[in-house]
Amino acid sequence: MRRRDTKFKGEVLSAPGGETLQRCYQCGSCTGGCPTAALTNFRVRTIIHKTLLGLRDAVLSGKDVWLCTVCYTCQERCPTGVDVTELMIALRNLASKADYAPTPFKSVLKSLFETGHEFPFTGFTRKLRTELGLEEKPPLAINIPEALEEVRKLMKMAGASRLLEATAVKK
């Protein structure tokens, strides 16, 4: 579990958002301003340290990387210019590739693939829209099959549909 993976750092550096990893000198400004850190054991600085050490499984398999609210406070405060929040997102992408993504997140992806939207329109929505004088079915991907097909194609080309399969297999 604690074995060092010498390739891990390189993987992070080449992932979109991970490019600035090596600028970190472990000052802890990120953790100091973090809204989650104030209330939990979530520690951004520690996650970065483990990443620099190549502790792949410790970083990717846990709940921690998913506890970032993506508020960007740390990124604004970092004195050496680590794109800290983007780095958390890069780590989450690697965790997701290793099939560690949390179920509530995967169901959002499923909804996007099935409807083109993350919050699907319900009967209640349509009724409320009509009451408000809005189009019951606005011209969005959810109501235009060709548009939805485009979104699905993009997800397949990017490889996101693999996540759907992984989800299906797990269930």
Partner 1 sequence: MREYALFLGCLIPARLPSLEAVSVKVLERFGIGTKPMIGASCCPDPIVMKSLDYKAWLAIAARNLSIAEEMKLDVLTLCSGCFSTLSKANKVLKENSNLKNEIGGFLSEINRGFLGTINVRQVAEVIREIGQEAIKQRLQRTLEQLRVATQHGCHLVRPSDVLHVDDPNRPTILDEIVSWVGAKPIDYPLKMLCCGVGIKAIDPETNLVMLREKLESIKEAEANCIVTPCPFCFIQFDMGQREVNRKFNERYAFPVFYITELLGLAVGLSPEEIGLQFHTTPVKEV
Query: What are the residues binding partner 1 (CB under 8 A)?
Result: 15-17, 35-36, 39-40, 63, 66-73, 75-76, 83, 85-86, 89-90, 92-93, 96, 101-102, 104-106, 108-109, 112, 116-122, 125, 128-129, 132-134, 138-142, 144, 146-148, 150-151, 153-155, 157-160, 163
Q: How far is the CB of 124 from partner 1 (least distance, A)?
A: 9
Q: For partner 1, which is the closer residue by CB, 55 or 163? A: 163
Q: For partner 1, which is the closer residue by CB, 4 or 40? A: 40
Q: For partner 1, which is the closer residue by CB, 4 or 38? A: 38
Q: Are 55 and 89 in contact (CB under 8 A)?
A: no
Q: In angstroms, what is the C-alpha Rg of the chain?
A: 19
Dist CA 123 CA 132 (whole Å): 14
Q: Are 47 and 88 in contact (CB under 8 A)?
A: yes
Query: Each residue of 39-76: b (16+ CB within 10 Å) or e?
Result: eeebbbbbbbebbeebbbebbbeeebbbbbeeeebbbe
Dist CA 166 CA 78 (whole Å): 36
Q: How far is the CB of 20 from partner 1 (least distance, A)?
A: 11
Q: For partner 1, which is the closer residue by CB, 8 or 42? A: 42
Q: Assign 3-class secondary structure to 114-133.
A: HHCCCCCCCHHHHHHHHHCC
Q: How far is the CB of 3 from partner 1 (least distance, A)?
A: 25
Q: How far is the CB of 14 from partner 1 (least distance, A)?
A: 11
Q: How far is the CB of 58 from partner 1 (least distance, A)?
A: 18
Tally of CB atoms within 10 A around 17: 18
Q: For partner 1, which is the closer residue by CB, 2 or 37? A: 37
